[in-house]
Every structure is written in C-alpha cells, then in structure tokens.
Structure 1
Amino acid sequence: MSSEPLPITALSGVHPEEKAAKRPVRRRKDEDTLEQEHLTEEEISAAGRKWYFVHTYSGHENKVRHAIKATVEQMDAKNKVFHVVVPTEDEIEIRDGQRRTVKRKLYPGYVLVQTIELKEGDPDSDEAWHMIRNTTGVTGFVSSGTRPVPLSMDEVNHILRAMRMEQPRVRVSFIPGQSIRIVDGPFEDFVGTVDEINTEKGRVKVIVNMFGRETPVELDFLQVERL
C-alpha cells in the first residue's frame, strides 16, 4: 500500500469555523446541494472501522462522494468501505437584503470516509485503499509517511457534532470597525461604524453620529450594508 503524505495537522484539532475563516468557500452550481447520510452512533463508532480524510480537488467533493459510493456498489465492497461524508453545516447567508440557508463545506477539498482499518500488507485493506485512491478527483489520503492516518473518535465526533447543529450560523460580510450604511428603519441613510456583531441573534451594534455625539444603535443584519 502506498499513499501521498499529507499533513494530518492541517485537519486535526482545528475547529470548522477556524478552518473556514482561513479558506473561503467558492461554490460550484452543482455542488450547492450536498445530501448527507444520517448515521447512528453505532455506525459511527462500530468496532473494526476507522474514519479517514481523503483529499480531493476543490469543488469536486460531492462528485467524489458519489463516485466512491458507486464503485463500492459495483464491486460489492460494502464490507470494506462503509460511509462517505462531505462535512457541511447549515449557514444563513444574507445577500441583496434576503436571508437564505445554504450548505457550507467545513473542510473544502476533503471527504470523510469510513472503511475497515487500513493495514500494511492486508489484501482487504489494499483493495479498499486502491478503490478510493483511484477514484477520479481524489489526490490522496491524509497520511503519515506512506500510511493513511485514521481520525480519533474525538475528532470524528467533533466534525459530526458541527454538522448536526440545529441553529445555523449567520455569515456576515462586515467586521468590527468597518463603515456601513443603514438601509432600513428610523436611521435609514445614516452612515456608521460596526461596533459589535452577534451572529447568534443576527444583530449588529453600529455607532452613528447624531447631533455631534456618537450613539450606539442595535440593528438587524438586513438593515445595514457595506459601503
């Protein structure tokens, strides 16, 4: 078994929101809808199974997922490759004064695959490895040297918990200290500076100049726009 070395530190121990902040996601039209499997706790932590991160071309995550699943079906290998997941979370995007819920990839360029434990010199492991590695769009496993490195259950649970969050995150296009214009409400057309952002409530505190005094005003995200 051989594999391209990829740094496990690029993934493990990194919170999804931190990872996303470093790597903005640009969605392809056919990647917007990412259907996912609903796994039970027994399936997630079943004995003899391990989870691995597989690196893909950016934007090809869902194609890779479908291709691996199709190959597993065709080769009757469901006893070697069990689940393929594109880690995502729901996010509220505000654009053109409208809110919409979108799927955001937590780890762009990676697919999470559950297989038998991949061991050197084991024929079943070699078959599972080649099946995944030879999938179009796959560039390699996250590895240490030539050995694919499985995620710990803590890492797997951290990722899956992020996917199951009931309250979607709100994506905002402004940051504290940035100048914005108020577009709705009693302060319409006022220009102010972002002071605080509350993504859980979808609210922003803006400092505006009224009668020569700086006054804080709390507004909904939809009531402001970037200058």
Structure 2
Amino acid sequence: MAESAKWYVAHTYSGYENTVAASIEKAVENRGMRDLIHEVNIPMETVTEITDNGPKTVERKTFPGYVLVKMIMTDETWHLVRNVRGVTGFVGSGNKAIPLTDDEVASMGVEKKEVVVNYGVGDTVRITDGAMESFMGTVEEIDLDHKKVRMTVSMCGRDTPVELDLDAVEPVEQ
C-alpha cells in the first residue's frame, strides 16, 4: 500500500466513546484488517478534582463524543467504522472524512514522537533549524521532560544562552 495511515475523527454519541472504541477494535480483529486500521484512541487527560474528601485525581475525556482512529482510508475501512453502533459519522464535509494534520496530532498528544538524543552535556552541536541555523554551540543542559536543550552559542564574540527543541540540533563530528 502506497498510502500511509492517518488519524481520522469519528463522532459518537456522548458517553459511548469506550463502547465504540471496543467495537471498532473487535471488528478489526474479526475481519483481519489490522493492516488498514492501526489504532483506536480516546484522548484522555489527568485532572485533580477537589471534593469534600480532599483532592482526587481522575482521568477525563479531552474530547467527549469523539474517537480517534489511525487508518488507511478505503471504502471498506470507512464502512467498518461508520457502521459501528454509536458512530454518527466522521468529522469532515459531507461523507468525506478529513484526516488530522501532523500539527493537530502533535498538539493533541495522541502520538508521542520519540526524539533520540545522540549528544550530551559538554558536546559541541550545530543548530539545524530556526533563525540560528548552522550556528555551533556547547550543550549546557538537556531537559528530556520538556524536550529542550540549553546551550551556549558564541555570537559576535559573546557567549549567548539559547534554548531549543531537542531535534533542532545535531552533534558535530570531531
């Protein structure tokens, strides 16, 4: 298959998200369509609620009434998802489902993009992206939780601290 899988949004009756996700997973297994429908996801967030008994941590649906499906869109996959009990349709115009953009998927935190860091503190790196592209600097700190690297870049004879995304720099071969 030349086409790659994309994330689509199926609209469901509110409160039926888990049932719909389970039904889609079961239908995919029964029909052997794992190569076309890769993943079903209900975006969740962890929230601390204050109750009479004190704070309580709960999982809450980020987008109630919606289920995300990563699939290769064909007539067969469209009908499979669309005909699951509780699905009212796809997000899009008319009968045409529109996939989420890469930016939308990233901002929703549906797919975790893993960045491999092949440099360490004290290493010399080259900036590969942004306004300071091709500048060289020395790594001061790596923050894996926030996916940031703090480094010092020499500009006009002055050391300037810079914070960038982990994937915006690459190690310089010594």
Give the 4+ runs in structure 1 shifted more than 3 A. none
Question: Which whole-Å deviations, capped at 9, do the CAs of 1:101-144 have from their partners, x for residues lacking one?
Answer: 1111111100010001x2xxxxxx01101110110110000012
Distance 1:77 1:162, change over 3 A: closer
Normalised by the length of structure 2, the TM-score is 0.60
How far, CA to CA, are the matches of 2:110 and 2:70 in structure 1? Answer: 17
2:102 is aligned to 153
Structure 2 portions without partners, runs of 5+: 113-174
Deviation at 1:98, TM superposition (A): 1.6
Alignment of 1:193-208 (within 5 A): none
Contact kept? 1:89, 1:162, Cα under 8 Å = no
1:212 is aligned to none
RMSD: 1.8
Q: More helix per residue: 1 or 2? A: 1
Q: How many residues of Structure 1 are paired with residues of Structure 2 in the alignment?
A: 110
2:77 is aligned to 128
| Match among 11, 15, 19 for residue 63 of structure 1 | 19
Distance 1:156 1:162, change over 3 A: closer
2:136 is aligned to none
Structure with the greater relative contact order (CA < 8 A, sep ≥ 6): 1 or 2?
1
How far, CA to CA, are the matches of 1:152 and 1:101 in structure 2? Answer: 31
What percentage of aligned pairs have identical amino acids?
45
Structure 1 portions without partners, runs of 5+: 1-46, 119-124, 164-227
Q: More strand per residue: 1 or 2? A: 2
Distance 1:90 1:60, change over 3 A: same
Deviation at 1:161, TM superposition (A): 6.4
1:90 is aligned to 46
Question: Which whole-Å deviations, capped at 9, do the CAs of 1:60-107 have from their partners, x for residues lacking one?
Answer: 001111110000000000011110000111001111132111111111
Distance 1:161 1:95, change over 3 A: same
Normalised by the length of structure 1, the TM-score is 0.46
